[in-house]
Amino acid sequence: MKRLQNVWKDKVAVLSLSIITVTTMAGIFAPFVAPHDPAEVHMELRFASASWEYLLGNDHLGRCVLSRLIYAIRPSMLWVFVALLLSVFIGSIVGVLAGYFRGKTDAFLMRVCDVVLSFPGYVMILAIIGILGVGFENLIIAFVLMKWAWFARIIRTSVMQYTESDYVKFAKAIGSSNMAIMIRHIVPVALPDIAVISSSSFGSMILQISGFSFLGLGIQAPEAEWGMMLNEARDVMFSRPEFMLAPGLTIVIVVSAINYLSDALQVALDPKLMTSTYKQQGLEAASTVKLEGKGVA
Amino acid sequence: MLSVECVEKSYGRGGLFSREREHVLKNISFECKSGECLGIIGESGSGKSTLGRLLLGIEKPDRGAILFEGKKVEDRKGRTGNISAVFQDYTSSINPLYTVEDAIREPLQMKRKGREDVRSEIDHLLSQVGLDSSYRKKYPHELSGGEAQRVCIARAISTEPRFILFDEAISSLDGSVQMQVLELLKDLRKRYKIGYIFITHDIQAAAYICDRVMIIRNGEIEEIVKVEQLKDVQSAYTKKLLQMIIA
């Protein structure tokens, strides 16, 4: 937890974190936050502009755009997060085992990863959806199946570098078991790397899943999803371009927030920032920030 | 106490299917008595660090055996608490997320002692290596090279092992600190009666602290000689090595 305190010093990171938290909360509590039922059709309100009752207007079936946007957080962000966690989890296990044991274990696991990675990603996802059928769950399964190998490769490289270090050698010499070494020394030290890798690919995964929904391969109507909302607005792209704005901007803002936060995490999780005299340093940093602020003013 | 019998080690070179192997250690046999300090001297690439890893039981020899009190050293349970090590690179010797206290606690926990015992023991160990208890909460990157190496020594002696392996442990420190650490090691050896195996390329340091030195070259033992008899060594290579220091 001490490590996360470093994030608070970075203003962009705090802003990004609050955007992500608010969005997540809104997604989880969508029925309480959304002003209307997202599937409620009002044909008399087709393409209505923003009004006090419907803050972002109504779509081609007269459904409330804001409510749909809020409900869409669940598949677009929360389920993508679950898919990310699953693939990072599988990737970490494979990567840590390969990077720690090396030799034959490493060669075998990495050849498996190579095989998975040598299929073209998009085509494979399309193929898996083709086999399992169109649907959001199948899209998520396809993503997990395709993504873990990439995480495994990257995590292995980072783990390898820590396995070389002398504190691991020492732990081996005094007779710690391999399991204990992995839990005590490898995973905690590699965790910042894993967090940064996964958070930076979170953004691209949201974009990809939205992309598949845009193509009509992911979530099915009448459920809402950001990519699908874009697709629905595409029909009226030239007559009512503002309908692309709401889902488009939401994607851009959320993905940028995630990318900025992952940058900040990278800095904040550096163990060299940890000090025994933490509070003192924090105060010093705060006072220099103030001084700089005055200089600018 | 520690006996090495006809040990050979080679590493595969090239890719997965390559049969080419590099012979790193050839037919190494020697013995180290309890409480003795044995220096292992050799140039870079002579195989001395590989020998060190084998002695610690981290890697297995291809042929031959390394026995610690009659048991194979690769056997984890047999060596727990009896063997310890200090390494060259003090920047990576301590887990960067650990405080000094956590680092020293790690080997102590292997012996399953009570919490209070461990706390007082850490203070005692720190004072043994000339550090005070204010160091307990520090992180490794806040320590200087000499301090970090002292913490590593405290960690190594914490379980009161039968022998400690020093793999180039003082080579990365500068002159005066090297001397302080050597003095400390000499002093600790008297107090705890621990055997040292001192891997180094520095003959002077080895001569200062060791009882016997073993000169190793291209993976083979050139000569094992008592420090007092270092003047009248037999092999040409060792003579040349000594000549270089005197000159």
Sheet holding B37-41, edge to edge: B83-86, B163-167, B195-200, B37-41, B212-217, B220-226
pLDDT at res. A43: 84
**Min distance A175 CA to chain B CA atoms (Å):** 5
Rounded percentage of chain A residues whose pLDDT exceeds 70: 91
pLDDT at res. A15: 93
Chain A contacts to B (CB-CB under 8 A): 107, 165-167, 169-177, 184-185, 188-189, 271-272, 274-276
Q: Is B88 on the interface with A (CB under 8 A)?
A: yes
Planar angle of CA B117, B123, B129, nearest 5 degrees: 130
What does each C-alpha distance from B40 to B116, B197, B229 come to in angstroms?
A: 39, 7, 16
Band of pLDDT at residue A282, cut at 50, 70 and 90 = very low
- In chain B, the residue whose alpha carbon lies closest to the alpha carbon of A163 is B92
> B80, A271: Cβ pair inside 8 Å?
no
Q: Is B145 on the interface with A (CB under 8 A)?
A: no
Q: Is B165 on the interface with A (CB under 8 A)?
A: yes
Q: Domain-by-domain residue ranges, chain B? A: 34-58+76-246
Q: For the residues A226-236, what does the mean pLDDT come to?
A: 85
Chain A residues closer than 8 Å to B138 by CB:
276
Q: Is residue A280's pLDDT more than 70?
A: no
Low-confidence ranges of chain B (pLDDT < 50): none
Q: Which of A106, A170, A277 to mutate to test the interface with B (most CBs of B within 10 A)?
A: A170
Q: Is residue A96's pLDDT more than 90?
A: yes
> A274, B139: Cβ pair inside 8 Å?
yes
What does each C-alpha distance from B54 to A141, A174, A236, B14, B59 come to in angstroms?
A: 46, 13, 73, 22, 5
CATH class in words for A2-20+72-277: mainly alpha
Q: Is B49 on the interface with A (CB under 8 A)?
A: no
Chain A residues closer than 8 Å to B14 by CB:
none
Q: Is residue A292's pLDDT more than 50?
A: no
Band of pLDDT at residue A289, cut at 50, 70 and 90 = very low
Band of pLDDT at residue A294, cut at 50, 70 and 90 = very low
Domain B34-58+76-246 falls in which CATH fold?
Rossmann fold (3.40.50)
Band of pLDDT at residue A291, cut at 50, 70 and 90 = very low
Q: Is B160 on the interface with A (CB under 8 A)?
A: no
pLDDT at res. A278: 47
A55: which residues sit within 8 A by CB, 6+ positions away?
A35, A66
**pLDDT tens digits for range B33-53:** 888 999 999 888 888 888 999
Instruction: Choose among B85, B94, B95: nearest Cβ to A173.
Output: B85
Q: Is residue A49's pLDDT more than 90?
A: no
Q: Is B112 on the interface with A (CB under 8 A)?
A: no
Could you tell me which of A109, A207, A209, A182 has the C-alpha nearest to residue A151?
Answer: A109
**Min distance B10 CA to chain A CA atoms (Å):** 14
Show the DSSP H helices in B18-171 as ranges: 48-56, 76-79, 100-110, 115-128, 145-157
pLDDT at res. A228: 86
pLDDT at res. A144: 92
- The Cα A157–Cα A113 span in angstroms is 13
CB atoms under 10 Å from CB of B3, counted, come to: 16
pLDDT at res. A204: 86
* Mean pLDDT for chain A overall: 84
pLDDT at res. A200: 83
In the block, which residue shows the tokens 């050849």?
Answer: A111
pLDDT at res. B112: 66
ipTM attached to this prediction: 0.90
**Identity at A294, one-letter amino acid code:** K
Instruction: Choose among B98, B107, B139: nearest Cβ to A174.
Output: B107
Band of pLDDT at residue A277, cut at 50, 70 and 90 = low
Q: For the whole model, what pTM was predicted?
A: 0.82
- In chain B, the residue whose alpha carbon lies closest to the alpha carbon of A272 is B141
